[in-house]
Structure 1
């Protein structure tokens, strides 16, 4: 399972001159927490490059009453490229997870830039391929893993020591001894395709084994090794 973007985000894969040229195409914009950067179903064609902050990528389920979080996007990530390239409605909603600063680039300007910069065009294709593969892995996990396994896998991913994300390492004097993931239970449920009740039950099991500790909008990882084993389907 993979919620975070490509290890080498679009913005960080560009050379300095390429990055400056791309950023010069658009304008900077700040989004408050919970604001929509892009909205599912819209027929807009601009793209967004994240400069600071994090955002969730989600779409409504077939029933139309719940949402499934498909990914977390952070600094350097390119968003909205599919609609910019194929002129179809937006396939997902991107919502700010805290304050976000981004560069907004019109679709026409972005397409013209790609036409004259084949290396950058190749990076966009690589990103699309990576996200399609990640989506296939997510569908496989939904079909084959339990909620506990999916949750353990997600928490392991988000708390990885080398992975960027909405988490924080332990800080002296805070009372936290492990990595803290700052997501509410309903948000965690949306990242693993489960109900909030099912995730709450899985978290109770993890708390009972002293693997995690929970609080308001946070899950502290106390035993990352055992959590990783659960994610892989092992049993004690």
Structure 2
């Protein structure tokens, strides 16, 4: 499973000259928490590079069911490139988890830039390939892992995410931020393709075994080693030894 983008975000893979040139194509825009940066089905064609904050990428599911969160994107990540390249409607909705900032670049300007910079075009293709592979892994996980295992994978992954501070192209990749995940239970449920009730039950099991502590929009990981074992499938489906 993989909710986060690849280890080297698009903007961080650019040279200093490429970075300056691509940023000059657009303008910085600020977004409030819960604002939609992009909307599923919309026919806009611009792209965005996240400068600060975290956003979720989600798609609609069956009528009445919660949206499925496909990705969590942070500073340096490129968004909206598919619609810019194929002129089809947006395939997902991008929503700000908290205050966010992004460089918004018109689609035609971005396409011209890629045509003139084959190396950067290759970076976009690499990103698309990575995200397609991640989507395949997500579908496999939904079919083969229990809710508890999927949640353990997700919490382990999110705990290693970089902070949502401003994007600086010359800054080194930060070390893992620790063991606190700032998502509500319904948002966690959407990231693992499960109901809120199923995730609440799984969190209760983890809490009873002192693997996590929960609060309002917060999950603190107390025992990352055991959580990682659950995520890797090297422990029983339940931390107390019972199978689900």
CA-to-aligned-CA distance 1:20-78 (integer Å, 9 cap, x gap): 00000001100000101100000000000111111000011143632000011001000
Could you give the per-residue CA deviations for residues 151-188 of structure 1, whole angstroms, max 9, x where no partner exists? 0110011112xx4256953xxxxxxxxx1111000000
- Structure 2 partner of 1:14: 14
For 1:52-71, list aligned pairs within 5 A.
Answer: 52-63=52-63, 65-71=65-71
Q: In 2, are the aligned partners of 1:168 and 1:181 still within 8 Å (CA)?
A: no
Structure 1 counterpart SS, 2:210: coil
Query: Helix, strand or coil for the counterpart of 2:51?
Result: strand
Q: Aligned residue for 2:188?
A: 188
Task: Find the partner of 2:162 among 161, 164, 167.
Answer: 164
Structure 1: stretches of 5+ with no match in the other structure: 170-178
C-alpha RMSD of matched pairs (Å): 1.3
Contact in 1 for aligned 2:45/2:80 (Cα 8 Å): yes
Local SS of the residue matching 2:28: strand
User: What is the aligned length?
Assistant: 225
In structure 2, the gaps of 5 or more residues are 165-175
Matched position secondary structure for 1:98: coil
Deviations 1:174-206 (A, max 9, x none): xxxxx1111000000000000000000000100
Instruction: Report deviation, 1:230.
Output: 1.1
Residues in 2 aligned to 1:231 and 1:12: alpha-carbon distance in whole angstroms: 29
Q: Give the distance between the partners of 1:131 and 1:64, measured in 2 at CA.
A: 27
Q: Deviations over 1:81-122 (max 9, x none)?
A: 000000000000000111111100001000011011000000
Match of 2:83 in 1: 83
Aligned to 2:43: 43
Would you say the 8 A contact 2:162–2:177 is kept in 1? no
Flag as ranges the 4+ runs of structure 1 deviating above 2 A.
62-65, 165-169
How has the CA–CA distance of structure 1 residues 168 and 13 changed in structure 2, closer, same or farther, with 3 Å as cutoff?
A: closer
TM-score (normalizing by structure 1) = 0.92
Structure with the largest fraction of strand? 1
- Secondary structure at the aligned position of 1:19 is classed as helix
Checking the alignment, whether the CA contact within 8 Å between 1:158 and 1:165 is kept in structure 2 is no
Q: Does 1:97 align with 2:97?
A: yes
